[in-house]
Copies of this chain bind each other. A is one copy, B any other.
């Protein structure tokens, strides 16, 4: 991303490594404590670099936060790209996608927390990021393909909106992680045991598939 500096005498300097390290540490801190809750001092202490470097590279606390947010979205969406729905029938493809999304959210709680925090801030920082918009567009494209194929083969209902479908899948997958603390505190349930999560996941898949398969007038 930047020109390599002359290797002469650059024995210990590793700008990229330093930046990566700062980002990794601060992402954890922001995810843990929020934007105002995170402490620059603490981030610096946990970093291999000094406090001054944070300001050198990221300007200020908000700049660092924004960088974390972008890195998180990029990382998570990159993980989604590995999902291969290629040869599958549309309903199987959708089922796999929903299940994957549910699992993927579970595996990335820090990302979920950053998004929660960003929502608390009314997406103020995300709005300014073209990078993030672009990585999310891909998710919609995937769904659009599946929907078109499903409708062509007659297994999906008409009038399906890919963005709405994304919303529905996200709702079930995101809430599961975002509201785990309050939900667990409020209800004595096994929903967050391993088996409970499997059930929740299966039922999420089922809900989505029932929904896209449902032909109005026929059943209701």
Contacts from A to B (Cβ < 8 Å): 33-37, 113, 115-123, 126-127, 132-133, 136, 140, 161, 163-164, 166-168, 170-172, 174-176, 178-187, 189, 191, 199-200, 203, 206-208, 210-211, 214, 220
When distances are taken between beta carbons in the complex, the residues of chain B under 8 Å from A208 are: 207
Question: Measured between alpha carbons, how far is A163 from B186 in the docked complex, in Å?
Answer: 10
When distances are taken between beta carbons in the complex, the residues of chain B under 8 Å from A183 are: 167, 170
6 closest pairs, A vs B, by CB?
Answer: A123-B181, A171-B175, A36-B37, A123-B185, A163-B189, A210-B210
Question: Measured between alpha carbons, how far is A132 from B116 in the docked complex, in Å?
Answer: 22
Question: Measured between alpha carbons, how far is A174 from B167 in the docked complex, in Å?
Answer: 12
Q: Pull 17 A–B residue pairs with CB atoms less than 8 Å apart, ordered by A.
A: A34-B34, A116-B119, A120-B120, A121-B181, A126-B181, A126-B185, A133-B185, A136-B187, A161-B189, A163-B187, A164-B199, A167-B183, A167-B191, A171-B172, A171-B174, A172-B172, A174-B179
Q: Are B206 and A211 in contact (CB under 8 A)?
A: yes
Question: Can you name 6 extra interface pairs (CB under 8 A) apart from A164-B199, A167-B200?
Answer: A119-B179, A126-B186, A167-B183, A168-B203, A171-B179, A174-B179
